[in-house]
Structure 1
């Protein structure tokens, strides 16, 4: 069972990103005006009260929120009758998030269980400007013209996007202090898994913990394309730079699992000849530089009292990004993770998946796992070592 329950604990998270083109069309650069956004997320642990965390970290002007509601998700853009609550900040239904800031709402008296879905409806009457967002939601965000935050049905929500906007966390109370942050890239974000099905690696890990009678928050802080050592305008600050925000500042956390470094190695081998401009820049990064980044994160996590778990880098052989140099660097990083003793524990995902993804575990690009592959990753984690 989970530990003592006390104050707020994060149950769901998404790492904020700078507005940009991303891998697919999205609404981040144009923003919103006179529209309602409806977004549904699956909690990893439940609680008796909830609060929402919004991020306007990359905003250029104050974000004026005309209203916000929260209820139990009923599928698609619908909300379960009898569960809809108005959400306030300092007791006010309308509030402002300063540019460059994050904000937590007041508590909402909505009881939610582990692995349950909640739906947030955000009404923005005035122009928002470019929207801080999370590019790859792997689920559907809905948009309606006008104020539809009180609607239980989804008929007014005619537009859809595969990104999250302004939403960076859902916290529960009372909550345990043993949450697990999974910090990583697209292998954490869930690229290759079935959209709308919650079959990413962190989702599967949360399911395993719940099924074992040991529910713990598992927080997905992956950003597709993210790297340990390299900043990107569209793919986020390097993991070492966002470590404080995305790991240390999350409430109710006791462990960090780091699954990061494959992009540092793989993208440097492209020499700028990538078919995906969004992935730029492409500096060459050595295995030693990746290891140095891991050591920095281990040191900071330990200083904050967190347990550290290092995940070996899964296979990329046969993918667009595989080169002899990159394969050697991946092997070197994995050997260090396994053998150095720097991490408190190791999740050997590479050994579980083999030297190359087999067809059952491959989403098709020989780099990103399928639903079955992400399940195999979660099953490779020793729950006792978390």
Structure 2
């Protein structure tokens, strides 16, 4: 009798478990708690009975996709009145016949619980590598300050009041945030995986051309597609102002690792490119500009030592390894000439970079310090590789960084 019951239970569980699809993350943007705007980091907007249209470029393609929405910082549930996705052509126009309405448990409307994500049903929609998609969200109620990625570097269209899904409209507002969109996941080829980035504004792409997908992870996605078509998705989880150890813009890298990296489908590698903000906030030159009100960034923050940062990296590695994720460390880029450079911070940066290059911390490493450095003065960025602030890159600088990566790291 026990054997019979075991056989029945096995059959029930087998029937209830769908065939495993090869879901990987092909695009992402990490949300941050609502806060005032600061430079290229925009304040969190609110919406009421409006349609939001944003353009997203994936990395790896697949035979199906699904969308991950977020209400990570919402105090109340977020109502989704409808959502629509379509392929865009090279001119940014919808490809005829490519549009699909998203569903959630079979329904076109949904409620995203407070402080939670929501994953759509899968859509049998084949998408190629580097496809550009239009994502339209209709939010019928009052959203409150949105769970947004602050630095979208693309133009988001906000409609007049009403449901404009599938219709053109004259926007009443344009934004550069990423409202409520957390990830695009694709059912990819066998053996595919995702390379995620736990990083700050240099990875977020500040200084790159608006709407052109010229962050260094974008360039890396193009290289990977040419090298191994369909195999590698990119999940850019850079948050401008982010730090390893302390909260500022977004939770610290240590605090957000589980949600922003480990929880994403298909992650096999994470590139850790954090540390310059830890140094810039711990060692603050006299006369530095104060932080924006409410940002949580101290002008002279908690002291940071080389060993504290290295221990932070070690924790990231240990926790990623628990989930079978390999960790690639990036050397901290030069920042002499920026508003927050100090000799004390430089000493710590050089010590950290020496430890990374010695192979004592990560599974592998990439030398972004060398890629950005000015040969005439390696303590600062090469002219033309930074936007004028000696800290953030340009299109040329970000391409140089992506080109410096040995693709053989990703097996």
Give TM class, smaller chain.
over 0.9
Any conservation in 2 of the 1:338–1:346 contact (CA below 8 Å)?
Answer: yes
Task: Indicate yes or no: 2:224 matched with 1:229.
Answer: no
Any conservation in 2 of the 1:183–1:221 contact (CA below 8 Å)?
Answer: yes
Any conservation in 2 of the 1:177–1:254 contact (CA below 8 Å)?
Answer: no
Counterparts of 1:147-226 in structure 2, within 5 Å, are 147-151=163-167, 153=168, 155-175=169-189, 176-214=191-229, 215-226=231-242
**Offset of residue 218 of structure 1:** 1.4
Q: Pairwise CA RMSD of aligned residues?
A: 1.9
259, 262, 282: which one aligns with 2:273? 259
Any conservation in 2 of the 1:12–1:42 contact (CA below 8 Å)?
Answer: yes
Any conservation in 2 of the 1:225–1:279 contact (CA below 8 Å)?
Answer: no
145, 148, 158: which one aligns with 1:133? 148
Any conservation in 1 of the 2:55–2:133 contact (CA below 8 Å)?
Answer: yes
Task: Indicate yes or no: 2:390 matched with 1:366.
Answer: yes
**Offset of residue 211 of structure 1:** 1.9
64, 72, 76: which one aligns with 1:61? 76
Task: Indicate yes or no: 2:63 matched with 1:48.
Answer: yes
Any conservation in 1 of the 2:284–2:341 contact (CA below 8 Å)?
Answer: no
TM-score normalised by L of structure 2: 0.88
3-state DSSP class of the match of 2:345? helix
3-state DSSP class of the match of 1:9? strand
Deviations 1:201-241 (A, max 9, x none): 11111111112235411110000000000012xx1000011
Deviations 1:301-342 (A, max 9, x none): 111111211110111011111110111111011111111433
**Offset of residue 79 of structure 1:** 2.8
Structure-1 residue corresponding to 2:10: none
**Offset of residue 283 of structure 1:** 2.3
TM-score normalised by L of structure 1: 0.93
Counterparts of 1:25-44 in structure 2, within 5 Å, are 26=42, 28-29=44-45, 31-44=46-59
**Offset of residue 110 of structure 1:** 1.8
Any conservation in 1 of the 2:83–2:136 contact (CA below 8 Å)?
Answer: yes
Any conservation in 1 of the 2:284–2:342 contact (CA below 8 Å)?
Answer: no
Any conservation in 1 of the 2:285–2:341 contact (CA below 8 Å)?
Answer: no
Q: Which runs of 4+ in 1 moved over 4 A?
A: 24-27, 74-78
3-state DSSP class of the match of 1:309? strand
Any conservation in 1 of the 2:247–2:296 contact (CA below 8 Å)?
Answer: no
Deviations 1:117-167 (A, max 9, x none): 11111001111122100000011111001111112x4x4334210110010
Structure-2 residue corresponding to 1:280: 297
Unaligned runs of 5+ in 2: 1-19
Task: Indicate yes or no: 2:381 matched with 1:381.
Answer: no
Unaligned runs of 5+ in 1: none
